[in-house]
Structure 1
Amino acid sequence: MAAEQLGASVVAAFPEDAEGRFLLGMARAEAGRVSVGLADIAQAVEIDPRGDYRAQLARLQVMLRQDGAAAQTLAAAERAPPDDALGRDTMGCVYARLGEHAASVPHFREAVRLAPGNASFRYNLAAALNFIGDIDGAEAAAEALLAVDPDYARGHHLLASLRKQTAASNHVKRLEAALERADGGDARLLIGYALAKELDDLGEQQAAFARLAATNAEHRARLPYTFARDAANFDAIERVWPRVAAATVNRAAQDSPIFVIGMPRTGTTLVDRILSSHPAVWSAGELQAMPLAVKMASGTRSRTVLDVDTIEAGATADLGAIGRDYLARARTHAGARQGRFTDKFPGNFQYAGFIARALPQARIVCLRRHPLDTVLANFRNLFAISSRYYDYSYDLMDIARYYVRFDRLMAFWREALPGRILELGYEDLVANQEGETRALLAHCDLPWDEACLDFHRNTAPVSTPSAAQVRRPMYKDAVARWKAHRDVLAPVIAYFEAEGIAI
C-alpha cells in the first residue's frame, strides 16, 4: 500500500515520468490489481519503450491470459532487450509460458551471465534446456545451480529427472543429505520425489516406493482436499450434457484441432509426439485454452477454472463463441506455423462434450492404460504443486476414486458421442506400434507417414514429465509396473473389483 501511495504521488506530480508510472503499475499488480497495474505499465511503455518495462508488461499480459498481446510485446522488446538480469529472466519466463522454449533460452543465459549467483535464474535456464532436448546442457546448468545453492529443491528434482540413474552415476547420497536438511513444505516434497525416482532407477523398488509413500503422505496431510469436490464436477458434467447436446451452435468453427485427452501419465505425450511427427501437424503442447474459453463464456467469478457453477453456466453459453475463443487462444502459440495442431492437455476429457459441439470438426483421442498402472503412475509423478487440479494424486485411494469416475465419464462419452473419440490403449500401442499408429492417423483424417514411427526423432520441445521417455524409441518398460507393488495396491485392487473395474 505504501509503495502504491508513493507511486501515485510521483505520477500526480510528474504525469509524464515513465519510471513513476511503471513503479505505480508494479505496486498495483503486486497488490493483486493486475489489470490496473497493466494499464499503468502500458502507459509507461508509451512514454519510454524500455526493454524492462516491456518485459513486465508481457508478464502481466500472460497473467491475464492475453497471450497474443504478450507475444507482440515480446517481439517489440527484442528490438531493445532489457539490460538487467530480472528483465531478461522475465522475458524468458513469458516465452516459456507461450510455449516458445527455444526463444526463452538466450534470455535465461543472459540473466545467468548478469546475475550468476541467482539460483532461480539458473533453474529457469536448466529447465528450458531440458525442454528443447539439450540434456547435457540442462545437466550442466543444474549442477552449476546446485553449486550455487546446494539446497535448491527444484534443482535436485530436475536433475534426477534428466536421465535414468545408474550405480556408477547417481545422486542418491546427495539427495539423502539434502532431504535431511530440508526445512519442510515443498522442499521435502521435491527432494523426496527426486530420491524415490533415483532409487527406482537403481532397481531398489521397495525402498523407492517407501520413500514415495512417505513423501506423498506428508504432503497430503497439508492439503484440504476431499474427493467430494471432484465428484461434484463429474456429476455436473454428466448432468448438463442434455443441454449442451441440444444447444444451437452459431457460426461453428470448421478448424480441426486434435485433442489428446485421458488421465495423466497414460501415454498422452507419446501420442502427441507421434502426431506432431506428421508433416501436416504441429504440437501446441498442453493448452488451457478450452478450460479458459468455457470459463470465460460461463461468466462465473469463482477462483477455480472448473467447478460446478462454471459447468452449469457453461452449458447455456454460446458454443460457437466457445469454439472461436478456444481457437483464438490456441493460435497465439502458433507463431508462423500453419496447419493442424494438437492440444494434449489430458484434463480436456472433462470438456469432451464442449469440444465435440463447439468444434464439430475436431478429432479427439483418449489414452487408456491399465487401471493399476494408471494409479501407480499418477502416484509416482509430481504434477504442478500449486495446481489444485492434481490434489487427488498424493493418495492411492484418492487416485483410485478419481479413476473410477474418469472411467465412468468415458463410458458416458462413448454413448453420448459415438465415433467421436478414439480410445487408444497404451499397451496396444506399445505392442503393435505401426497398426495402432495407422488407426490413430486414420481417426485424425491424416494420411500415413513413416515419420510417425520415428517419433523419438521429433526435435520439437517437450515440457511435460515425459520429456526423457518420448526421446527414446518405443519401449515396454512401463507395462505392468503395478505387479511389483501388488501388496501395497491391494486396497485399490479390492476397490476396483467392487466398482466393476477390470484389472
Structure 2
Amino acid sequence: MEAAARTSNTATDPLSLKQALEQAARLLDKQPEAALRRAEAILKQAQGLPAAELLACQALRRMGKTKAALTRVSALARSQSRVPAVIWEWALAASEAGAGKQAIAALESLTRQQPAVADGWFLLARELRKAGLKDEAWRADLSGVHASSRDPQLLEAAMAMNEGRLDEGEAILKGRLQRVPGDPAGHRLLGEINWRRGDMTAALALVERALQLAPGFDLARDFLVRLLLQTNRLPEALEHAETLASSPLKSPGHALLKASVLVRLGDQRRARAIYEKLLKQQPDQPQVWQNLGHVLKTLGEQADAIDAYRQAVARQPAMGEAWWSLANLKTVQLGAEDIAAIERALALLEPDAANRREDIFHLHFSLGKAFEDAGDYAASFRHYDLGNRLRRAMVLHDADGFSAEVAAAAGTFTSAFLSEMGAGGCPAPDPIFIVGLPRSGSTLVEQILASHGQVEGTMELPEMMMLASRLQSRVDEGEFPDFRAMVSSLSPQDRLRLGEEYIERTRVHRHTAKPLFVDKMPNNWQHVGLIRLILPNAKIVDARRHPLSCCLSGWKQHFARGQAFTYDLADIGRYYRDYVGLMAAHDRAAPGAVHRVIYENMVADTETEIRRLLDYLSLPFERACLEFYNNGRAVRTASSEQVRKPIFTDAVGHWKNYEPWLGPLVEALGPVLGAYPEVPETRD
C-alpha cells in the first residue's frame, strides 16, 4: 500500500510526471512496447493526460498497430486541435493506415498552423498524389520547397557552396540528411555540390532522389534536365522537360527549357512552335527572338531567320550573340547602318567591359564579318583579332598537352598493335563518321551523303567523344599508367559493349529506316583508332581543306561551344599539324581504311569525287547526291546556308585577302602547308 501510494504521488507530481514522460519517450524508437506500457501506467494515474495519450499513440504506430493508433489519436486531435505534435501524429497514423482523407485533413490543418515546416507540406503532397489530386500535390511540394528555402541549415550550406567552400557545405548537408533522410531540398543542394565538383554520377543520383521525394520540386527537375543535357541523355531530358512544362506554377522558362531539349534532339519544328507561341504572348523578348532565329536558320528559312535576329537586336541593341548570328548567315551582308549600330553598341558596353566580355567579342566578330563583306580587310582583320584575343582569354587550351595526347594516339594505333588486338567490337555497319577540322567542307560532304536514299543525316553527335573521355578518365584517375595500357586492356567483349553503347545512344537521332547514318562530329579525328576497335565496320571520311583556308575560316568563326583551339592563329595552325600527323599515322597502320575528301577537288570535279566517295561506302551512285542543295533537311552548322546552294568556288582562295597578317599561322603550319594536299615526311 505504501509503495502504491508513493507511485501515485510520484505520477501526479508535475516534476516526476515530466520525468516519467521523458523516460517513456526515450524508449519509443527501439522499445515501443515498453514505451506503451509506461504511457498506459501514467494514464492510470493521470487520466486523459494529453502528453501521455500522444505517447501511447506514437508507440502503437511504431508497433505496427496503425488502426488502434489512428482511433486514439484522431480522438485526441478533436480536443487538441491546436497542438502541432498531435496533428502531426494523426497525419502519420492516418497515412500509414491508408486513411487518405484523414491524413489530408490532418496535414491541411498542420500546414495552416505551421506553414514554415517543410515536412508537413511534403507529406501532404504525397497523400494528395495518392488521392489522384495531381495539381494540389504539386502545389504542396512547391510550398514545401518554399518553406525549405528559409531553413537556416540549408541557407548555411548554400552560402558555403556559393563561396566555394564545397567540403563545408557537403558536411552540413550529409549531417542533415542523416537526421532528416527524406529532405528533398537537402538532396538537391548536395547534388549541386557534387555537380560543381564534376561528379556527375553522384549529382544525378541525388537530384533524382530529390524528385522521388517531391515530384513537384520544379527547381530540382529543371536542374535535372540540365544535367541530363550535359550527359547527352536526351530522351530522359525531354521526358522531364515535358513534365516541368505541365507544372501548375506556369513559367516561360519551363517552355524555353523544353525547346532547348527539342533543339538538341533535332526536332526544330516543335521548338519553333514553342518560341512562336511565347512571342505571340509577349513579343518583347530578345532572347526568344534570337532562339527562334537559330531554329529558322537550321530549317533553311533564311528570310525569317534574318527577321528574327533583327527583332532581337531592335529590342536589345547591344545583344552581341544576335548580331553575330545575323552576321554569320553566309548569305547576309551587313551594311553601313549595321556597322554604325554595332559600333554604338560597343561604345555603350565600354563602361562595363569587364562584365560584358561575351557581348563585346561577339560584336567584334560581327564587325569583322561586316568589314570583310565591305572589302576592308585590314579593318576586318583588326576586329576579328580583337574578338579572338578576348575569347582566347576566356577559354582553356593547352597546345602542348594536346599535342602529347595526339602523339600518344599515333604511337598506340600502329598496324602491329591493331593486329595484336585482333577481332572485336560491334559489327554494325551503320555509322559513317565524317572527321576533320571545322570549316573543312564536312557539312558539304554530309549534305551530299544525306541526299542518298540509304543514308540518314543526323548532326554533330557527341557520343564518341563522351565514350573516349570516359576511357581517358581511367588513366587520369590512376587506374592505368598511360593511354596505351588502357586501350590494351579492352577485351573483345569490352569493345563489343562500347560499340553497342554508341549505336544505342545515337539511336535517338535517327528518324528514318535508312540503314546508314552520318555522325559529323569533326573532332572525332582524334578517336579514329577507338572507332576502328569498337565499330570495325564503320566508315570514316576525312574532309580536308587547304590549311590556310581552313584555319583562317575557323579563326574567323566564333563557335557556340568547344573548339577552344580556334581563337589564336598559332594554336589553330598547330592543331592542324597534329591532325594531319595523326591521320597520316592511321593511313600507315591501315591503308585505305579512311577515305579522304579534298575540298578543292570536290569543288573542281564534284561528280568524280562523289562517285569515289560512294564507291568507298559501297553505295550505288544516285543523282540526288549531285543535287544535294535541294535537300530540305535541317542543318545546324555554320555552313547551313551554303549547302543549300550549288557548289561555288569563291571560298577556295579567300585566305589571300588576309595574307599580310597570316605570319603566325604560316609559321605554325610549317611543312604541312607546302606539302598540301600531300603529307610531308616530317611535320617538324
Q: TM-score, normalised by structure 2?
A: 0.65
The 1:302–1:464 alpha-carbon spacing in structure 2 relative to 1, beyond 3 Å, is: farther
Q: Is the 8 A contact 2:434 2:541 kept in 1?
A: yes
Determine if the alignment matches structure 1 residue 253 to structure 2 residue 409.
no
Match of 1:330 in 2: 506
Match of 2:253 in 1: 86
The 1:51–1:37 alpha-carbon spacing in structure 2 relative to 1, beyond 3 Å, is: same
Match of 2:525 in 1: 349
* Distance across 2 between alignment mates of 1:168 and 1:216: 22
- 1:128 CA drift (Å): 1.2
Match of 1:455 in 2: 628
Match of 1:3 in 2: none
3-state secondary structure, aligned to 2:541: strand
Match of 1:207 in 2: 379
- 1:191 CA drift (Å): 0.9
* Distance across 2 between alignment mates of 1:403 and 1:164: 27
Moved more, 150-159 or 292-301: 292-301
Q: Is the 8 A contact 2:361 2:386 kept in 1?
A: no
- 1:498 CA drift (Å): 5.0
Q: 1:61 aligns with which of 219, 223, 228?
A: 228
* Distance across 2 between alignment mates of 1:477 and 1:140: 26
- For residues 44-89 of structure 1, the C-alpha deviation after alignment (integer angstroms, 9 at most, x for no partner) is 78x56x9999776544432333223335556778999995311111
- 1:219 CA drift (Å): 2.9
Map residues 349-388 of structure 1 onto 2, 5 A cutoff. Answer: 349-385=525-561, 387=562
Q: Is the 8 A contact 2:435 2:524 kept in 1?
A: yes
3-state secondary structure, aligned to 1:130: helix
Determine if the alignment matches structure 1 residue 439 to structure 2 residue 612.
yes
Q: 1:320 aligns with which of 480, 496, 504?
A: 496
* Distance across 1 between alignment mates of 2:227 and 2:392: 32
Letter in 1 for 2:379: A
3-state secondary structure, aligned to 2:597: strand
3-state secondary structure, aligned to 1:300: helix
Letter in 2 for 1:271: V
Determine if the alignment matches structure 1 residue 265 to structure 2 residue 434.
no
Structure with more contact order per residue of length (Cα contacts < 8 Å, sep ≥ 6): 1
Match of 1:278 in 2: 452
- 1:391 CA drift (Å): 2.1
Match of 2:275 in 1: 108
Match of 1:233 in 2: 405
Moved more, 286-295 or 158-167: 158-167
* Distance across 2 between alignment mates of 1:29 and 1:190: 33
Determine if the alignment matches structure 1 residue 401 to structure 2 residue 570.
no
Q: Is the 8 A contact 2:334 2:370 kept in 1?
A: no
* Distance across 2 between alignment mates of 1:217 and 1:432: 38
* Distance across 1 between alignment mates of 2:590 and 2:512: 34
Moved more, 211-220 or 463-472: 211-220
Q: Is the 8 A contact 1:414 1:421 kept in 2?
A: yes
Letter in 2 for 1:407: V
Unaligned runs of 5+ in 2: 1-115, 127-136, 146-183, 196-202, 677-684
* Distance across 2 between alignment mates of 1:82 and 1:327: 38
Determine if the alignment matches structure 1 residue 289 to structure 2 residue 443.
no
Q: Cα RMSD (Å) of the superposition?
A: 3.3
Q: Is the 8 A contact 1:28 1:36 kept in 2?
A: no
Give 1 or 2: higher helix fraction: 2
Moved more, 67-76 or 147-156: 67-76
Match of 1:141 in 2: 308
The 1:429–1:81 alpha-carbon spacing in structure 2 relative to 1, beyond 3 Å, is: farther
Unaligned runs of 5+ in 1: 1-5
3-state secondary structure, aligned to 1:284: strand
Q: Is the 8 A contact 1:294 1:314 kept in 2?
A: no
Q: Is the 8 A contact 1:38 1:61 kept in 2?
A: no
Match of 1:35 in 2: 204
- 1:28 CA drift (Å): 5.4
- 1:8 CA drift (Å): 7.0
Q: Is the 8 A contact 1:294 1:322 kept in 2?
A: no
Q: Is the 8 A contact 2:312 2:322 kept in 1?
A: yes
* Distance across 1 between alignment mates of 2:514 and 2:246: 25
3-state secondary structure, aligned to 2:627: helix
Q: TM-score, normalised by structure 1?
A: 0.87
- 1:465 CA drift (Å): 1.0
Letter in 2 for 1:422: H
* Distance across 2 between alignment mates of 1:295 and 1:191: 33
Q: Is the 8 A contact 1:257 1:342 kept in 2?
A: yes
Q: Is the 8 A contact 2:245 2:258 kept in 1?
A: no
3-state secondary structure, aligned to 1:258: strand
The 1:116–1:461 alpha-carbon spacing in structure 2 relative to 1, beyond 3 Å, is: same
Letter in 2 for 1:35: L
- 1:221 CA drift (Å): 3.8
- For residues 74-131 of structure 1, the C-alpha deviation after alignment (integer angstroms, 9 at most, x for no partner) is 6778999995311111110011122222221112222334454443233222211111
Match of 1:220 in 2: 392
The 1:417–1:298 alpha-carbon spacing in structure 2 relative to 1, beyond 3 Å, is: same
* Distance across 1 between alignment mates of 2:516 and 2:117: 47
Q: Is the 8 A contact 1:282 1:340 kept in 2?
A: yes
3-state secondary structure, aligned to 1:225: coil
User: Could you say which structure has the larger radius of gyration?
Assistant: 2
